[in-house]
Structure 1
């Protein structure tokens, strides 16, 4: 039996989301002020794991999505095509 390669892509990749982000973007996503975000990161109390790279704090997109309750599910290419077809049909009939 021949195995087919996985014809899917992660949800985050569909929208071109970065693999990781700086503290400002993570704080905005979590509705925290930047100073509160830095304070929580320093104290180990940030809502999701952070890494320190030099003087910067970095948050992985997967960790932030998990904290926000967003699943980074695999999406199949057939679903893209079907969704695009449905969206086109709706935009043609909407006034």
Structure 2
């Protein structure tokens, strides 16, 4: 754990996360430092469920998004330009 500040994840970065993330990434999504994340886990008050894998904690991205109040992925203009969103409507 380092004391250097981490910038919070942007909305787009949160939407591009893989299926699960490490605790550092989840903490960045909430705008808190890693030490605070560990304290919240110890207190049982971390904003979403974590999964213990060995000595590490992982967070399922679906739980992270739900706790952040993100119910669905918005379609961006550049997604339309790349043809990504077109498959959703075919």
Q: Please indicate the TM-score interval, normalised by the length of the shorter structure.
A: 0.5 to 0.7
Task: Report the CA distance between 1:71 and its aligned residue.
Answer: 1.2
Per-residue CA deviations over 1:31-89 (Å, capped at 9, x if unaligned) read 1111000111122110000111110001000000001111136x8xx98129xxxxxxx
Show the counterpart of 1:89.
none
| Greater per-residue strand proportion | 1
Instruction: From the CA coordinates, give the structure whose radius of gyration is larger.
Output: 1
* TM-score relative to the length of structure 1: 0.59
SS of structure 1 residue aligned to 2:85: helix
Q: How many residues align?
A: 65
Show the counterpart of 1:80.
85
Residues 1:17 and 2:44 aligned together:
no
Q: Which runs of 5+ in 1 are unaligned?
A: 1-14, 83-95
Separation in structure 1 between the aligned mates of residue 42 and residue 68 of structure 2, nearest angstrom: 21
Residues 1:58 and 2:48 aligned together:
no
* TM-score relative to the length of structure 2: 0.62
Of structures 1 and 2, the one scoring higher in RCO (CA 8 A, sep 6+) is: 1
Q: Which runs of 5+ in 2 are unaligned?
A: 1-14, 76-82
Separation in structure 2 between the aligned mates of residue 79 and residue 27 of structure 1, nearest angstrom: 29
Q: CA RMSD in A?
A: 2.4
